Structures are given as structure tokens and as C-alpha cells.
Amino acid sequence: MLQFDYVRTSLSSALLCITVQRDEKPDESRVFADKTNQSFQSKPMREIALDDRTIRVEATPVHCSETRPYKGGKLLINNNAYRMSSWRRVVSLLPPAYESWIRYCYGDSIVFGHQEILCHHVWSAFIVYQREVGAPRMSKKVKESLQRLVWLSVQESKKFVNRGAFAYVASDLALLLGVTPNNWNQCYQPRWKALLQIMVTLDREALIHAEQKHREESRLRRSSAVPV
């Protein structure tokens, strides 16, 4: 059984924890130069021609000063970010709706293109749902009001996934649309719940696809690894 919390934690860590911590002090110098390498310790030789013979002597060392103080090499990426890079690659391989949701919900992405994709996905899925359940046809006013709630349903779903609570209650939503509480309960609340359920389904499907793709990529890397 898929552990959704594990996948959520992995995705959040991969998309958010990608900065280098300056207070880390690993053996960074070994990344740039291995001091045990003989090429750094061997003394170069030069040849000198004397009449009909040639002799080899150690080259004269050249002393020079650096133009700026050397502070040592810095890793371009920390260990945790490197370890989670496989999850970041997986996100880029997902279908647009799944990728947009994961980046927005678990990576705090504010890219407008992701918001457009999510709104289009939710509204399209809502129209399909209305047809499947045989819901009564919406009036133009109700349809326009619901379209205004599409992005809010995405925001509320993100808040519920990350914090376990919604920001708006029924009275807040009725006030937001400028309708009475009774009108909200009759015309809007069932459809609002449908929008939220679409987001629950999207979140679940995105996590399942991400975990499956991560497992496939890991298996491919292991099978293509060259034995040492």
C-alpha cells in the first residue's frame, strides 16, 4: 500500500530544500582535488641538451602569488538536495496537471502557468462530473460564480493537505459570492464539495504517479549502473 505521507514528505523536501547551507563544512576540498593523486605530488622534469647527449633534471619551480585569497572550494549543492534530486526529476516527467499540482502544493510554486493548468483541469473535470451524475443545468449566474471559486478550491485543497484545515467556512463563501446562506446551501454547496473532491482525486493520482515513476527511474538506474 502506498504511503502517501512518505511521498508528500519526499516531494516537499525535494522541491523546497535545494539551497546550500553555508555553515556546512564537509571535506569539500576533496571534491576539487584529491591530494593523494600522484599527479599533484610528482615533480616535473625537463631535458637539457649537452653536446651529443641529453640529461634530465628537475624543473625549476615557478613561484607566483594569487591575485585574490583562496578560500577553498564550495559544493554547488548540499548532500540532502543531491539525495532528493531523483524526486525533482520525477516531477518534471509527470503529466501537466500532476506536475502543476505537486509544484504548487508541495513546492510553493507561484508560476502562473501552473495555476492556469490547475484551473482548467478542475473546471473540465467538474463539467464531466455534472454530466455523469445527471446534475440539473446551471444558470448563467451560478456558472459564473462557480468559475470564480475554482482557483479558491485549489488554494483551499493545498491548505487542507498541508495544515489539515480549510480557511473558509460556508458563511464566508456565501459572503464572498454575495448570496444568502440558504441560497448557498441549495445551489452552491453541493457543487463546491464536488470541486474539493476533484482536488482530492487529483492529489491522490499525482502522488501515485510520482511514486510509480520514481520507482521506475530507480530501477532503470540500478540496471544501467556499470559495475566497478
Domain ranges (residues) in the chain: 86-208
- In angstroms, the Cα distances linking 165 to 195, 202, 223 are 16, 18, 43
Average pLDDT over residues 152-160: 97
pLDDT per residue as tens digits for the range 179-214? 999 999 999 999 999 999 999 999 999 999 999 999
pLDDT per residue as tens digits for the range 34-48? 545 555 556 777 788
Count the Cβ atoms, other than its own, within 10 Å of residue 152: 15
How many CA atoms within 13 Å lie on the side-chain side of 183? 11
Cα–Cα distance between 130 and 68 in angstroms, integer? 69
Confidence of residue 85 (pLDDT cuts 50, 70, 90): confident
pLDDT per residue as tens digits for the range 45-78? 778 887 778 888 887 777 666 666 656 666 676 7
Nearest to 150 by CA among 106, 194, 190, 94: 194
Cα–Cα distance between 160 and 156 in angstroms, integer? 6
The grid cell for 108 is 510553493
